[in-house]
Amino acid sequence: MYNLLKGKRGIIFGALDSNSIAWKVAESAHAEGATFVLTNAPIAMRMGEINELAEKTGSEIIPADVTKLEDIENLIEKSVEILGGKIDFVLHSIGMSVNVRKKIHYTDNNYDFTHKGFDISALSFHKVMQVLYKKDAMAEWGSIVALTYMAAQRVFPDYNDMADNKAYLESIARSFGYFFGRDHKVRVNTISQSPTATTAGNGVKGFSGFINYAEKMSPLGNATAQECADYTITLFSDLTKKVTLQNLFHDGGFSNMGVSNEIMAAFEDQE
């Protein structure tokens, strides 16, 4: 490895199991010399294997419900104390839609479910940054990254209200990123990742078929969870100090494609 994060301190949200992008980011950050705190909702921690990751990376775990400001405040305060200084990087890798889980169609959304998913998946990003900002808990030239998906810009019918959540998440990154950059020299970006076979992703209807479609559409093929982790590490490092307010597509070129020869061939075979 390259020691890109040697001496840096961080907080990683959302590592559930070894399929999680956040899990891969934690492993890569550890390999690059970082120390960090792991956090997830108490219920997610009971479902996952985060203790294994903590042991592997020498990290402490602080449970936090990101819908509650007091939990986030406790997380930030304890993280600074445990890590021995201000935070250099934060990964927001949180997303949940009850409507998707219960297979409720977008045109028939349960708005209580919509609000819950919005609070966890998007508004939580504003809450986390607001606490970091008010407590002046980020180090200068620190980096905050949230994971998103291209359904924020284009229609993917079965992505449901998560598409709305991701659109709002990306807007928060730009708006809060301005103030964080101006006042504290902190970068804020989102990574729009390829469809990835995580526990959360597999809950979307027709997901395996779409992964295959995206693979055939993308000139470089789909980006894996590990490749996303590697890209995230570069955004945490000092090599990208002037990159901020960006939604960065990490999808093998899918986002700029209209159609590929492989996809056209499949339709030509039907003639």
Label residue 85 left, alpha or beta by phi (over 0 means left) and psi (-120 to 50 means alpha).
left
Q: Is 172 marked within a binding site?
A: no
For the question of residue 178 being annotated catalytic, the response is no
106, 133, 159, 213: the active-site residue: 159
Q: Is 108 marked within a binding site?
A: no
Spatial CB neighbours of 208, under 8 Å, sequence gap ≥ 6: 197, 202
Q: Is 62 marked within a binding site?
A: no
Q: Is 102 marked within a binding site?
A: no
149, 178, 213, 231: the active-site residue: 149
Chain centroid to Cα 54, Å, comes to 19
Q: Is 103 marked within a binding site?
A: no
Q: Which residues are annotated as a binding site?
A: 14, 20-21, 65-66, 94, 166
- The residues that are catalytic are 149, 159
Q: Which residues are annotated as a binding site for NAD(+)?
A: 14, 20-21, 65-66, 94, 166
